[in-house]
A and B are shown apart, each in its own frame.
Chain A
Amino acid sequence: MAKQITSSSTAEYFAKNLQQVGFSSPTKAVLTTLKEAVDNSLDACEEAGILPEITVTVRKIGPGSSKSADLVEIVVEDNGPGIDPDDLAKVFGEYLASSKFGRGRCTRGQQGIGISAATTWAQLTNATGAKVTSKTARMRKAVRATIDVDIKGNKGVVKNKETIDWDKPHGLRVEFRIDGRIQLNGDGGLLTYLEGTTLVNPHLKLRYKLLDNDWVEIERVSDVVPEIPPATLPHPHTMKLGEFMTHAGLYGKMEFGKFLKQGFSRVTDATLKELVANGLPKNLLEMPTNKMTEEQFKTAFQVIQKTELQAPSTRSVLTVGEEALAKSILRLGDVDFFSVVTRKPKIADFKPVVVEVALARFLNRGSNDEPVQLLRFANRVPLQFDKAACAITRAVETVNWRAYGLQQAKDSLPLGPYVFAVSVVSPFIKFKNASKETIDSSDELVEEIRRALMQAGQKLSRHIRREHKEADLERKIAHIEQFGPILIEYLGRITGAKEARMKRAEEGLKKLLGRDTKEAERDLSEAELRLQALKEQQAKAGLLFTASSFNDDEMKTRTEENKDEAASAETAGETAGKSKKAKGAAAAAADLKVAGTNRAKAAAVPARRNTTATKKGAATTAKAK
């Protein structure tokens, strides 16, 4: 006799397969729990048009229930709209209960799996689900409760519900106690996640305390809540036959032709004519969709697929924006220089997508021999695992970074103290797995990312080239100092020339090599001019691209003054200042005595050090308190 077939609930499936959604190890469990809670807070704030203020604490509170894990407490508190007490069970205790599923919007969460999986993990490893405190604007008091997952029934269960006083007008606090291990740095580290989240959310004010470290407070650099564009109607070419028929079912008795126009984007009367020309029976267009047979649907679907349609609209994607990204990157540390690029939304694989790139060189992280730190983002969520298989990594590795002055072995990440942040935003990102760790790499998407990287690389190369020219000038000055006197001395020895003749030759040599230095200096000035032109162009567009532009004092001034004017003046001023210093160094070099001191070098080096020092000082951010 055949065995009885049983069906299990979604919760049962995920409870047995939590590794598929990011709970494959104690370290990943902590990161995923934190990530799900923070991403939900950010989504909720954005939906409600609130500037997010999030507080995070992660600490070890004792030994875990399993052998190799600690009991870790993760608390995330926000100032979001809060959750209605009646919905708490659904949000934290039920799988696939989401306000965003399949809506075609660029939200971080999509399916309604993540936070329920975190509750399940807490329940499985510590026998208690999520402790939630919630208050909406309409509530006088907050509600506090523990939410468990009823695994058999895929339902949330509310326990220990009580009302408490909470001094916040609205918000949510969620607390998980789970088995896990805390990793702060590295690709899968909590700090890497928080830094990444900070970078792509310029409007976020974040406070966090990890383990016994001090509180860190990161101020927001943008007061604009990103508006998530409404979803556009689906495009007929992005559907499969089954989806197409289900979609038709939603429109009841509507005529098929009308359904196509109303239910899809990019279908017009002209499109319908074209469909008929391509073999769609004309009478089908007038038939009510609920009367159509499967065969008729199939015929229609096939004709639609082979008919060329206008590409889907790109209005449904959102961007962080170059200005916000530029400001945000300075929150990560002392930036030497950087470049950011926001591409225009494009269609890749028939889905709207927008790519943003920020490349920055830091003064205090990484080294020349290490690969750059690559931060990957999908819909503004950091991707921290399985780097090698990701479309973003593939794109970075296939760009020839040597052309922009960076070192790179073939088909590898470039080397240097840089952070490369690449963000891909799309309502339909194709992930390789349910835990959303890597973006599937199609040729079109990789090409779009490469273009963004190359654009940013070109901007970066202006800075790097200027440095090369500066080094060239220094090297030339050093050459004159070092070899000039030896040449004269040994020529004198061989010819037996008298002192006066040697002196004249020294003077002649100084003149000659001074001319060469001037040429090098001219090269440097040209490189600086090109860099200045770039900065001015960006300043005109309202994008402030110098690290020093974000100096605390200057920021204050800027709120009072016209931003554009300030930026142009400052950018120009900075460059002019540098040119002056370089010219001074060269002039000093031309004046040097061949028999020589280190005067020229001493003059040249500080010119460079000053530059660095300015950047160092200027790039201070409101990071640690």
Chain B
Amino acid sequence: MEKVIRVRKLTKDIPKEARLLCDMMLSELEKANRPVLEAVKCTLDNSIYNPKVGYLTPGDKKVRTELNVSSVQKMARVIFMLDRLLTKLETNAVHTKRELYYIAKGEVKSNPRLKPLDFASQDESDAIIDFIGDMLEVYREELNCFANDRGGQTYSQQLVVTETLPDGTKAVVDLSTLGTTPFQPKNKPQALSLKAKKKIDFCLVVESEGTAGTLVANGMTKRHNCIIIGAQGVPSNGVRGWCRLIQQQLKVPMFFFGDLDAYTLQNIYRTLKAGSASSLIRNADFSAPEVHFLGVLPEDVKKYDLFCYNVNEKDPAEARALKKAKDALSNDPFFQDKRNKRLAGVLEWLIKNKKRCEQQAYFSVDPKDPQIMEKILVEKIKNGNYI
């Protein structure tokens, strides 16, 4: 089996650490003591945001799981899944989270003794895998477990990507030769090096993958030396890692463009820029701290007379987003940081006005001009009209 490419240089010996942990548990049990599992608490109340670092990092809080009749199920599941993951690590086998769910499910269902462990849905097995990562303080990717690919479709006439494959061979992808097909980064570690054929002026990450495609179809990448990436909603680890790579290797200004609503600002943009609370220990490699918020900005609504409409507070999802925005202002260290005051201001505007504006509203500024969105975006970048 070929060697798996790693996200970072890890000094930890995962199998050894896992064995030590299990040995400690057995010893405690022999003494009729309750073994305790400790993991980093991956929640917003244990998140620290330091603008100099650029992403959310974990605080000191830990989640303690002590063995008792209520937790014995979770512990049994953790140790069972750990055994499966260690076997994969030993053989360098890689799997997606979904594959691991089905592997575990098959084994559990066919063995009557293991039946009580049965995972009713993938969420349950995912939670156990994440707990193992947080417990050993290693990335899920370092346990050879990956999520499915999602988002990151990239278009550029200038970008050339060279990938070093596990066997040492190199693949060179000139994105200008791909026609209408995008380049898509994987949701697992890749050894990529980037080169620009010409100086790239900016990189634009668009919330909607479809809208990114439309901008390219309308010729934006031909007229401008740029990179356009479709985020496809909340950016996956793959998208965040890819954006970070572009920043590090090409040092081009990066902008995010999405809807003007609480969900976009909080769940999509903040995750891209500073990572998420649920993956606190991985944000160092999965965030792009220099990305700017290009819009839609509240002032754009007025300036371009954009179509916007009231938030439907009866819709549970929208009402929840609004409530979450209020909570973010009081709990989220990212929005509480004084350097992000303008972003917090956008949230306040949303809470106060209870309005939302879709990114596609730019198309309606001049319905006869298919390039109108491109023109506005470039104008905004040129004039520094972003956060």
Q: What residues of chain A have their CB less than 8 Å away from a CB belonging to chain B?
A: 476, 479-480, 482-488, 490-495, 497, 501-502, 504-509, 511-513, 516-517, 520
Residues of the B chain whose Cβ atoms lie less than 8 Å from the Cβ of A484? 72, 76
Residues of the A chain whose Cβ atoms lie less than 8 Å from the Cβ of B67? 509, 512
What is the chain B residue whose CB lies nearest that of A494? B22
- Tell me, yes or no, whether B117 is within 8 Å of chain A by CB: yes
A297 CB, nearest partner CB in chain B, Å: 58
- Tell me, yes or no, whether B215 is within 8 Å of chain A by CB: no
- Tell me, yes or no, whether B80 is within 8 Å of chain A by CB: yes
Whether B22 pairs with A495 at a CB distance below 8 angstroms is yes
List 9 A-B residue pairs with CB atoms under 8 Å apart, sorted by A's residue number. Answer: A476-B69, A479-B69, A482-B116, A485-B113, A486-B76, A491-B29, A505-B30, A508-B30, A516-B68
Q: Using A482-B116, A486-B80, A508-B29 as known contacts, list a sample of 5 further A-B pairs with CB atoms less than 8 Å apart, ordered by residue number in A.
A: A483-B73, A483-B116, A487-B76, A492-B26, A508-B28
Whether A512 pairs with B34 at a CB distance below 8 angstroms is yes
Whether A513 pairs with B117 at a CB distance below 8 angstroms is no
A509 CB, nearest partner CB in chain B, Å: 5
Whether B69 pairs with A517 at a CB distance below 8 angstroms is yes
What is the chain A residue whose CB lies nearest that of B68? A516
**In the bound complex, what is the Cα–Cα distance between A486 and B76 (angstroms)?**
6
What is the chain B residue whose CB lies nearest that of A477? B69
Known contacts A493-B83, A494-B18: does B73 contact A479 (CB below 8 Å)? yes
Chain A CB within 10 Å, residue with most, of B19, B31, B80: B80
Whether A483 pairs with B72 at a CB distance below 8 angstroms is yes
- Tell me, yes or no, whether B75 is within 8 Å of chain A by CB: yes
What is the chain B residue whose CB lies nearest that of A596? B113
Residues of the A chain whose Cβ atoms lie less than 8 Å from the Cβ of B72? 479-480, 483-484, 487, 513
Whether B69 pairs with A495 at a CB distance below 8 angstroms is no
A-B CB proximity, top 8 nearest: A482-B116, A505-B29, A508-B32, A483-B76, A516-B69, A476-B69, A508-B29, A487-B76
Whether B76 pairs with A490 at a CB distance below 8 angstroms is yes
Contact code string B54-93 (vs A, CB < 8 Å = 1, else 0):
0000000000000111101101100110110010000000
**In the bound complex, what is the Cα–Cα distance between A333 and B70 (angstroms)?**
39
Residues of the B chain whose Cβ atoms lie less than 8 Å from the Cβ of A511? 32
**In the bound complex, what is the Cα–Cα distance between A476 and B80 (angstroms)?**
20
Residues of the A chain whose Cβ atoms lie less than 8 Å from the Cβ of B284? none
Interface of B is mostly: helix
Residues of the B chain whose Cβ atoms lie less than 8 Å from the Cβ of A506? 29
**In the bound complex, what is the Cα–Cα distance between A509 and B86 (angstroms)?**
24
A511 CB, nearest partner CB in chain B, Å: 4
What is the chain B residue whose CB lies nearest that of A472? B69
Known contacts A485-B113, A486-B114, A513-B69: does B79 contact A495 (CB below 8 Å)? no
Residues of the A chain whose Cβ atoms lie less than 8 Å from the Cβ of B79? 486-487, 490-491, 494
**In the bound complex, what is the Cα–Cα distance between A492 and B26 (angstroms)?**
8
**In the bound complex, what is the Cα–Cα distance between A490 and B84 (angstroms)?**
10
Question: Which of B28, B33, B34, B117 contacts A486 (CB under 8 A)?
Answer: B117
Residues of the A chain whose Cβ atoms lie less than 8 Å from the Cβ of B25? 491
B11 CB, nearest partner CB in chain A, Å: 21
What is the chain A residue whose CB lies nearest that of B115? A482
Residues of the B chain whose Cβ atoms lie less than 8 Å from the Cβ of A486? 76, 79-80, 113-114, 116-117
**In the bound complex, what is the Cα–Cα distance between A494 and B89 (angstroms)?**
13
Interface of A is mostly: helix
- Tell me, yes or no, whether B313 is within 8 Å of chain A by CB: no
Whether A509 pairs with B29 at a CB distance below 8 angstroms is yes
What is the chain B residue whose CB lies nearest that of A502? B26
Whether A491 pairs with B22 at a CB distance below 8 angstroms is yes
Whether A488 pairs with B69 at a CB distance below 8 angstroms is no
Question: Which of A482, A488, A520 contacts B29 (CB under 8 A)?
Answer: A488
Whether A520 pairs with B82 at a CB distance below 8 angstroms is no
Residues of the A chain whose Cβ atoms lie less than 8 Å from the Cβ of B18? 494
A85 CB, nearest partner CB in chain B, Å: 71
**In the bound complex, what is the Cα–Cα distance between A482 and B28 (angstroms)?**
20
Question: Which of A476, A480, A483, A505 contacts B26 (CB under 8 A)?
Answer: A505
- Tell me, yes or no, whether B337 is within 8 Å of chain A by CB: no
**In the bound complex, what is the Cα–Cα distance between A505 and B33 (angstroms)?**
10
Residues of the B chain whose Cβ atoms lie less than 8 Å from the Cβ of A497? 23, 26
Question: Which of A479, A488, A490, A504 contacts B83 (CB under 8 A)?
Answer: A490
Known contacts A480-B69, A508-B30, A516-B69: does B82 contact A494 (CB below 8 Å)? yes
Residues of the A chain whose Cβ atoms lie less than 8 Å from the Cβ of B70? 476, 479
**In the bound complex, what is the Cα–Cα distance between A488 and B76 (angstroms)?**
8
Residues of the B chain whose Cβ atoms lie less than 8 Å from the Cβ of A483? 72-73, 75-76, 116-117
Residues of the B chain whose Cβ atoms lie less than 8 Å from the Cβ of A513? 68-69, 72
Whether A501 pairs with B26 at a CB distance below 8 angstroms is yes
Whether B83 pairs with A494 at a CB distance below 8 angstroms is yes
Known contacts A480-B69, A493-B83, A494-B82: does B75 contact A487 (CB below 8 Å)? yes
Residues of the B chain whose Cβ atoms lie less than 8 Å from the Cβ of A485? 113
**In the bound complex, what is the Cα–Cα distance between A491 and B144 (angstroms)?**
21
Residues of the B chain whose Cβ atoms lie less than 8 Å from the Cβ of A516? 68-69
**In the bound complex, what is the Cα–Cα distance between A480 and B76 (angstroms)?**
11
B120 CB, nearest partner CB in chain A, Å: 15
Residues of the B chain whose Cβ atoms lie less than 8 Å from the Cβ of A491? 22, 25-26, 29, 79
B17 CB, nearest partner CB in chain A, Å: 11
**In the bound complex, what is the Cα–Cα distance between A517 and B67 (angstroms)?**
13
**In the bound complex, what is the Cα–Cα distance between A485 and B111 (angstroms)?**
13
Residues of the A chain whose Cβ atoms lie less than 8 Å from the Cβ of B32? 507-508, 511-512
Whether B69 pairs with A520 at a CB distance below 8 angstroms is yes
Residues of the B chain whose Cβ atoms lie less than 8 Å from the Cβ of A493? 83
Contact code string B167-193 (vs A, CB < 8 Å = 1, else 0):
000000000000000000000000000
Whether B113 pairs with A504 at a CB distance below 8 angstroms is no
Residues of the A chain whose Cβ atoms lie less than 8 Å from the Cβ of B83? 490, 493-494
A611 CB, nearest partner CB in chain B, Å: 22
List residues 82-107 of chain B with CB under 8 A from any CB of chain A.
82-83, 86
A491 CB, nearest partner CB in chain B, Å: 5
Residues of the A chain whose Cβ atoms lie less than 8 Å from the Cβ of B117? 483, 486
Residues of the B chain whose Cβ atoms lie less than 8 Å from the Cβ of A502? 26
What is the chain B residue whose CB lies nearest that of A497? B26
B124 CB, nearest partner CB in chain A, Å: 14
Contact code string B97-138 (vs A, CB < 8 Å = 1, else 0):
000000000000000011011000000000000000000000
